[in-house]
Every structure is written in structure tokens, then in C-alpha cells.
Amino acid sequence: MAKIGKEKPRMKATPVKVMGIEIKNVPAKAGTKMLEAKDKIVLLCAHKDSKDFIELSKVKYENNGKMQQSALWLTMDDEGNISSNSALAYFLRYYGLNSTEQIVGTEIQTTQDTESGFLIVKAY
């Protein structure tokens, strides 16, 4: 018989260095708002409490005075640029970056996701 285990210690919110980025395609899910597949940016980051890179793909940011959390969806405008009102654009602007290529090598701050408790990017 298996017993319910104790919660594993969570990593502390601390600055991390982005060592690489990946673009992952997330398939559509029946019965949800996501009706078609989308691309998402995943940041591969060095964290002082992990020997392996951690993956961050969600950001907490301020928009019009309200705190929001969103995945780092790669949404493009009509000209093929990152959509200016996307969570990815808020993240890039907060860290003074102009493109996804500039993310690698950047030190970013993390915070706890209010829903899952996992680490996410802090951009506020």
C-alpha cells in the first residue's frame, strides 16, 4: 500500500540566468479556450539550487495596474513581430530586451506561481 508523501521542498524564488531558449508547440485541447496549436517560449535557466537547468514558461507581469500571469506564448502581429500586448512583450520590455534572441545570457528574477507554487518569471 502506498501512503501520501510529504511535500518536496520547492525552489526559492531567486535570480536565475537564462542559458537557452526553446520554442515548444502546444497542441490544441478539446473543451478549452485553446482551439488551435500554439508556440510557447521555454527559458532554460541556471538556478543555484539545481544542478540541471530549470524550465520557465510562464510570467507574472503588471498590465494597466493589474497583476497578470500568462504563458510566454509566441504570438505575432501582421508584420511578423512579437505582438506588443502579449505577455512575452511585457517580459521583454521589463528586462530591456528587443527580441527573443537577446534573452540568452540575461539574469531574470523569479517568483512563485500563485496557482501551482512553481517558479515563474517575475516582470514587475
Encode 90-108: b = buried (16+ Cβ within 10 Å), e = exposed.
Answer: bbbebbeeeebeebeeeeb
Listed range (6-10, 16-20, 87-91) with the worst mean pLDDT: 6-10
Q: Give the containing element (helix H, strand E) for 91.
A: helix 87-94
Q: What is the pLDDT of residue 67?
A: 96
Tell me the average pLDDT of the chain.
Answer: 92
* Low-confidence winner among 24-33, 48-57, 63-72 (lowest mean pLDDT): 24-33
Q: What is the pLDDT of residue 22?
A: 97
